[in-house]
Amino acid sequence: MVRRQATSMQIAIRATDIVISIVALVLLSPMLLILALVILATDPGPILFAHRRVGQGGAYFRCFKFRTMVVNAEARLTELLEADPEARAEWMMHHKLLKDPRITPFGRFLRKSSLDELPQFVNVLLGNMSLVGPRPIVAAEVPRYGRHFIAYCSVKPGITGLWQVSGRNNTGYGRRVAMDRLYLRRRSLVLNLRILFLTVPAVVFASGSC
């Protein structure tokens, strides 16, 4: 009985993911085109950035985002971390930099508004992400989850989640892991819809973004 309920919930969540993603991509297509053109005009190069992330079952997948960094971002990061001990310490602690010199001016706007994540609706349609779930992590972040990494791998990562509507970057990484665990214990279609509803004001007011 429990297994049947879990299967029904998974089917309902997947169906909701597909319907909302298709509607979102159709309605947002003019905006997506404009954003793509601005990226090309302000910093010529690829429009999308496909980052290798850890997904369900520990399998890797390409997570799509609008490109917000300069084309040679990885090389620039390596140079920065080698030359700046404070930046290296910040990167080791948070796996991000508050003042990241690799981010383009328009890319900073995209990140602040979370518009850079809109292409992830394609990931949802491809089946390697869900609308709601733990945010997809990179391999270097796996140790931060420790023994809870198995729980992280039990579901698809999401475009939004409990962390996004609870302060996001204003919370520490340990709090982020705790929120993922809480979500996994209470996961349901109703909770997903509630998080989606709360995501709207969080994005509009750029709550916890950087």
Which pLDDT does position 66 carry in this prediction? 97
Q: Cα(11)–Cα(49) distance, rounded to whole angstroms?
A: 30
Which pLDDT does position 41 carry in this prediction? 94
Which pLDDT does position 5 carry in this prediction? 62
C-alpha pair distances (Å), 37 with each of 47, 69, 72, 120, 179: 8, 15, 20, 18, 36
In contact, 66 and 48? CB cutoff 8 Å: yes
Give 14's DSSP letter: H
Q: pTM of the full predicted structure?
A: 0.86
Phi-psi region of 156 (alpha: psi -120 to 50; beta: other; left: phi over 0): beta
Q: Comparing 176 with 118, which gets the higher pLDDT?
A: 118
CA nearest to 119, candidates 134, 108, 109, 129: 129
In contact, 20 and 93? CB cutoff 8 Å: no
